[in-house]
Structure 1
Amino acid sequence: MIPLYKPFMPETPLVNEILQSGSLTYGKYGREFESMLTGYFSTNNVIVTNTFNMAILVALTTLDIKFGDTVIVSPMACLASTQPLVSVGIKIQWADVDPQTGTLCPDSVRNLMHLGPKAIIHNHYCGHLGHIDAINSIGKEFGVPIIDDGIEAFGSEYRGLKLGNLGSDVTVFSFNPVRIPNTLDGGAIIFRDSVLFEKSKLIRDAGIDRKLFRDSIGEISADCDIKLVAHSATPMELNTYIGTQQMDNVDRLIEKQRKNAVIWDEKLNNNADINPIITADVFPNYWVYGALAKNKAETIKQFREAGFYASGVHINNNIYSVFNSKINLKGVNEFMNHFVALPCGWWFDNKLK
């Protein structure tokens, strides 16, 4: 059966050399990977972290979001996107989603702004970008930062620009094994504001200013004060080296997925029971091919019988007790009842039959 996800791993000839080098923490390859990402997104403010969990926490800490603060979040997200918030005592306020896309409903977000949220996290469900302009406009109107959650949306585009350069204050990406690119584990953060970017580099590294941390004989200097609550989130050289090798393949892999999506479009063109997710001016990375089926369970069964591992992917997070917010949301319910993901990855050649 053709799988829904599959890790990609390029040739990595220098792995053993790095492991034996004695230089395993953030260094040459970490900086090179960040430089490659900077070029890819056409932005100067990119940092890489050791995990996606840390990418979210570093972003939140940089924005000075603390225990007890409220953040507006979509229930239609991977748990990897939502659990980090409750781990530091942030209060999650679920917003409803557009049942046609699974992404934040602007009207629902606007109706929650009276709660005084410290941020809005805009998850782009399964690589399908949401209502970019509307959500960003709400953030600007109320002076609330927008965090684009691109956990599954690396390379997805809106009006010819990649997510990460679409006007939000912060964008986070995941590099775990089933993402493109993957670094075994890792994440990245893009800041629109250069001051926040500089602050984030301290927060990623336990609050340490490495230029001042050691004295003239290499001892830790008492003159280097630690002023920020921070994290230990710098990536390992092995992971970022893999990231550099991945970046040489990213465009090719995403192009293959988009070609597979065109074939799905043609296959499903006359199928009245299943409709592709389409958002104006959006060019997804097609991490999966998202569609809405009249009968979700039957559609999943039919595609699996045909050799394609169809799935609903995520479940709506507002059902979980850990978030202490089991709110009933109409758009979420409708989307969950119909969303089906089909394999669309680089690992197979989709063909018309």
Structure 2
Amino acid sequence: MIPIANPIIEDDEIQEVVEVLKSGFIAQGPKVAEFEEKFANYVGTEYAVAVSSGTTALHLALLAAGVGEGDEVITTPFSFAATGNSVLYTGAKPVFVDIDPQTYNLDPEKIQEAITPQTKAILPVHLYGQPADMNPISKIASENDLFVIEDAAQAHGAIYKGKMVGALGEMACFSFYPTKNMTTSEGGIVTTNNQEMADKIRILRAHGEKERYKHSVLGYNFRMTDISAAIGVVQLKKLDKFNQKRIENAAYLSEHINEIKGIKAPFIMDEVRHVFHQYTIRIENGFRDDWIKFINENGVGTGIHYPIPIYEQELYQNLGFDYKCPEAEKAANEVISIPVHPSLNVEDLEKIVQVLEDASLNFI
């Protein structure tokens, strides 16, 4: 089976972790500070604050922006549940706006009509590694005095019109879960050019402490460890290489998939670098489950990202959420992610294409 994801951990990551363990300083310490500085430099922001996960990064960024009870945050329903859940954690309400059917990202043309006096922020997701269309989103936000917080959990190293993802809004949030384009085993980070925001997040991630044992606000234990940061320092050095391999793998797949009936290859916007956290195809004949079964039985792993719009999840239904986003609902029923990770070799890519060709012959 060719897996849908395959984290690459090599001897240099292991050696860095061993050095941290030998140092005796395994909680948040100097290695976290080093990782923060290097990640901020990579993205092109003044500050980066490392935390325990991508979800906690979103939670703290929203809190730092002052999002709370009675506020609304505009976001996409076509994402991992953490995007919406992080808004709920603050006491605010996620307001779901439909997606662009080509990019699967938040459709800027639908944002304005969702803005109310309670709207505090816009939370676009750079889904699958392709940047959301940030210029019109930022323009709408500026005209309505709203924060823009990027959910960049899947877009490490992606570029939008010459600028790195992570430096396009007031804040941006990355995840370092093992399947991401780079990992720290678990972890997240918030990037920003706003010192006040960065300082708030540093306090909130550590029990609300401004000084040791002096708690000024209600905070959390959302810190990253030096063990995780040690992995991140090494992975960051490899990120561009990992991404380039993903891009090359995606180009090979698209070249061949465009010739296969019944499958739609991913669309790439102009003036972006799509870093292909996922390579997500679309099945156009309505028999997705049959395609998945066939593909898996023939040795290729798959995923569905994502099968249920967030507002249709049981949690949101129980909370009374009532939305209709036709493009998100249609995509949820048609997308399949197939392997694109850097570990794939030529034989793997040839096999993936052959299996998809055989599937097409069976179902078209």
Q: Which amino acid aligns with 1:3?
A: P
CA deviation map 1:265-307 (0-9, x unaligned): 2111323422222222222111121222213334434533543
The 1:160–1:301 alpha-carbon spacing in structure 2 relative to 1, beyond 3 Å, is: farther
In 2, Cα distance between equivalents of 1:14 and 1:250: 17
Pick the aligned partner of 1:105 from 107, 119, 123.
107
Q: How far apart, CA to CA, are the structure 2 residues paired with 1:321 and 1:67?
A: 22
The 8 Å contact of residues 126 and 155 in structure 2, kept in 1 or not, is answered as yes
Please state whether the residue corresponding to 2:342 is helix, strand or coil: coil
Structure 2 residue 310 is matched with structure 1 residue 308: no
- TM-score w.r.t. the length of structure 1 is 0.89
Q: Which structure has more helix as a fraction of its residues?
A: 2
Over residues 179-232 of structure 1, what are the superposed CA-to-partner deviations in whole Å (9 max), with x where a residue is unaligned?
12211110010113232223322222223234xx4xxxxxx5xxx5x4333322
State which of 243, 258, 261 in structure 1 corresponds to 2:250. Answer: 261
Q: 1 CA distance for matches of 2:114 and 2:218? A: 29
Aligned to 1:189: 190
TM-score (norm 2): 0.87
Gaps in structure 2 of 5+ consecutive residues: 355-364
Rounded to whole Å, the distance in 1 between the matches of 2:305 and 2:77 is 13
Confirm whether residue 10 of structure 1 aligns to residue 2 of structure 2: no
Q: Contact (CA 8 Å) 2:305, 2:332: kept in 1 or not?
A: no
| Map of 1:282 onto structure 2 | 272
Question: Structure 2 matches for 1:105-144, cutoff 5 A?
Answer: 105-144=107-146
Equivalence for 1:216: none
1:87 positional shift: 3.2
Decide which of 235, 253, 259 is 1:270's aligned counterpart.
Answer: 259
Compute the displacement of 1:48 (Å).
0.7
Preserved CA contact (<8 Å) 1:3 1:309: yes
Q: Could you tell me which residue of structure 2 aligns to residue 207 of structure 1?
A: 208
SS at match of 1:107: helix
For residues 56 and 229 of structure 2, what CA distance do their matches in structure 1 show?
A: 15
Instruction: Tell whether the 8 Å contact from 1:129 to 1:156 is kept in structure 2 after alignment.
Output: yes
Name 2:312's counterpart in structure 1. Answer: 319
Counterpart Cα distance in 2 of 1:62 and 1:174: 18
Alignment match, 2:220: 231
TM-fit CA distance, 1:256: 0.9
Give how far 1:20 is off.
Answer: 4.3
Question: For the Cα contact (< 8 Å) 1:74–1:96, is it kept in 2?
Answer: yes
Question: Match for residue 176 of structure 2?
Answer: 175
**% identical aligned pairs:** 23
SS in 2 for 1:209: strand
Structure 2 counterpart of 1:334, one-letter code: K
Aligned counterparts of 2:236 and 2:102: Cα–Cα separation in 1? 32
Contact 2:62–2:90 (8 Å) recurs in 1:
no
Distance change >3 Å, CA 305–CA 157, structure 1 → 2: farther
Q: CA 1:130 to 1:300, structure 2 compared with 1: closer, same or farther past 3 Å?
A: farther
In structure 1, how many angstroms separate the alpha carbons of the residues matched to 2:282 and 2:4?
16
Give the alignment's Cα RMSD to 1 decimal: 2.0
Q: How many residues align?
A: 340
For 1:83, what is the secondary structure of its paired residue?
helix
Alignment partners' CA distance in 2, 1:289 and 1:181:
16
Q: Secondary structure at the match of 1:114?
A: coil
Distance (Å, rounded) in 2 between the aligned partners of 1:46 and 1:53: 16
191-200 or 23-32: which moved more? 191-200
Per mean C-alpha deviation after superposition, the further-off stretch among 277-286 and 302-311 is: 302-311
Structure 1: gaps spanning 5 or more residues: 214-219
Letter in 1 for 2:94: I
CA distance in 1, matches of 2:157, 2:16: 26
Whole-Å separation in 2 of the counterparts to 1:115 and 1:311: 39
- Secondary structure at the aligned position of 1:248 is classed as helix
Q: Would the alpha carbon gap of residues 312 and 135 (structure 1) be closer, same or farther in structure 2, given more than 3 Å must change?
A: same
Aligned 8 A contact 2:258 2:265 in 1: no
Measured in 1, the distance between the counterparts of 2:141 and 2:193 equals 14
Preserved CA contact (<8 Å) 1:207 1:228: yes
Q: Is the 8 A contact 1:320 1:326 kept in 2?
A: no
CA contact (8 A) 1:58 1:231 kept: no
Letter in 1 for 2:220: H
Could you say which residue in structure 2 is the equivalent of 1:240?
229
Distance 1:71 1:60 in 2: 9
